[in-house]
C-alpha cells in the first residue's frame, strides 16, 4: 500500500469514527437506541457467519459508540451457542466501560465448554485494568484466573498468565513462578512475561509510596 493510500484510508476511517461519535451525541429516544442495538447485533452476527470482517468490525465500533446501553444485549449474546458469536460478544463488551459485564465473563471463564472462549474471557478480564472504572471490580477475577492457570488447557493457561501479569497483583506471584517452569514453552513464556509485568507493577507501587 502506498503512502497516499495509507493516508486516504486513515482519513476515511477517522471520518467514519467522527460521524459515529456525532451520531452518538445526538439525543435519541430509548426505543431508537434499542433498535440501533438490535440492528447492530443482528448485522454483526450475519457478518461473523459470512466472514465479513469489515462489517463485523464496524458493528463493534457502533456498539462501543452506543456504550453502556449495549451491555445487556451483549451479555445475552454471550450465551449464544455459536462459538465465534459469543466470543466476539465478549471481545466487544470488554471495550465498554461498564462493570456489569465482568461477572458474566468470569462465569464464562469458569463454565464455558470451549477453551478458545475461556481464553477470550481471560483477555477481556485483563482489559479491566486499563480503565479506572473497571480496575477494582475486575480484581474479583484474580482467583478464577489463578485456577485457569493451574488447571485449564494450554491455550487458556497462556491468556490466564497474561491477564495475571496485567493485574500486577502480588498474590499471583507463586502460581506464576510455578507456571514459568511449565513443560509447555508457551505457558512458560507467558508466565515469565507476566512475572516481569508484576515486577514492574511492584516497583511503581513502591515509587508512589516513597
Domain assignment present for residue 65? The answer is: yes
Residue 106, domain member (yes or no): no
C-alpha cell at 162: 497474561
Does the structure show a pLDDT above 70 at 16? Answer: no
* 91 and 132 both lie in a single domain: no
Structure confidence at residue 113 (pLDDT): 97
Of 22 and 161, more confident: 161
Average pLDDT over residues 17-30: 48
Average of per-residue pLDDT values in the chain:
88
Examine residue 103 and state whether it is found in any structural domain, yes or no: no
- The number of domains in the chain is 2
Q: Please indicate, yes or no, whether the overall pTM of this predicted structure exceeds 0.95.
A: no
Q: Could you tell me if 92 and 145 lie in one domain?
A: no
Residue 164 has pLDDT above 70, yes or no: yes
- Which of residues 43 and 200 earns the better pLDDT score? 43
What pLDDT does residue 22 have? 39
Give backbone dihedrals phi and psi of 134, rounded to 5 degrees, phi first: -105, -15
- Pick 23 or 204 by higher pLDDT: 204
Say whether both 126 and 209 belong to one domain: yes
Query: What's the average model confidence in pLDDT over 83-106?
Result: 98
- Angstrom distances, CA of residue 189 to CA of 65, 154, 172: 36, 12, 16
Q: Which of 17-31, 146-160, 193-207 has the highest mean pLDDT?
A: 146-160
pLDDT of 138? 97
Task: Assess if residue 153 is contained within a domain.
Answer: yes
Q: Is 193 a member of any domain?
A: yes
CATH number, residue 152: 1.25.10.10
* Dist CA 143 CA 147 (whole Å): 6
Return the sign of the alpha-carbon dihedral for residues 6, 12, 13, 14.
positive
Do both 89 and 127 map to the same domain? no
**Domain interval for residue 31:** 10-96
- 136 in the same domain as 86: no
What is the pLDDT at residue 210?
A: 72
Q: Predicted confidence band at 13 (pLDDT cuts at 50, 70, 90)? A: very low
Amino acid at each position: 500500500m502506498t503512502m497516499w493510500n495509507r493516508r486516504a484510508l486513515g482519513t476515511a476511517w477517522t471520518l467514519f469514527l467522527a460521524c459515529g461519535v456525532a451520531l452518538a451525541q445526538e439525543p435519541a429516544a430509548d426505543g431508537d437506541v434499542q433498535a440501533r442495538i438490535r440492528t447492530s447485533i443482528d448485522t454483526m452476527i450475519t457478518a461473523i457467519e459470512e466472514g465479513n470482517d469489515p462489517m463485523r468490525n464496524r458493528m463493534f465500533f457502533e456498539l462501543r459508540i452506543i456504550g453502556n446501553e449495549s451491555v445487556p444485549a451483549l451479555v445475552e449474546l454471550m450465551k449464544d451457542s455459536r462459538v465465534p458469536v459469543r466470543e466476539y460478544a465478549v471481545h466487544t463488551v470488554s471495550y465498554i466501560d461498564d462493570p456489569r459485564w465482568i461477572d458474566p465473563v468470569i462465569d464464562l471463564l469458569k463454565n464455558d465448554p470451549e477453551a478458545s472462549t475461556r481464553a477470550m474471557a481471560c483477555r477481556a478480564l485483563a482489559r479491566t485494568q486499563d480503565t479506572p472504572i473497571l480496575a477494582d471490580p475486575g480484581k474479583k477475577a484474580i482467583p478464577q484466573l489463578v485456577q485457569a492457570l493451574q488447571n485449564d488447557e494450554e491455550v487458556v493457561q497462556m491468556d490466564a498468565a497474561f491477564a495475571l501479569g496485567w493485574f500486577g497483583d502480588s498474590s499471583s506471584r507463586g502460581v506464576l513462578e510455578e507456571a514459568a517452569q511449565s513443560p509447555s514453552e508457551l505457558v512458560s513464556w507467558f508466565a515469565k512475561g507476566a512475572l516481569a509485568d508484576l515486577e514492574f507493577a511492584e516497583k511503581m507501587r513502591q515509587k508512589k509510596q516513597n
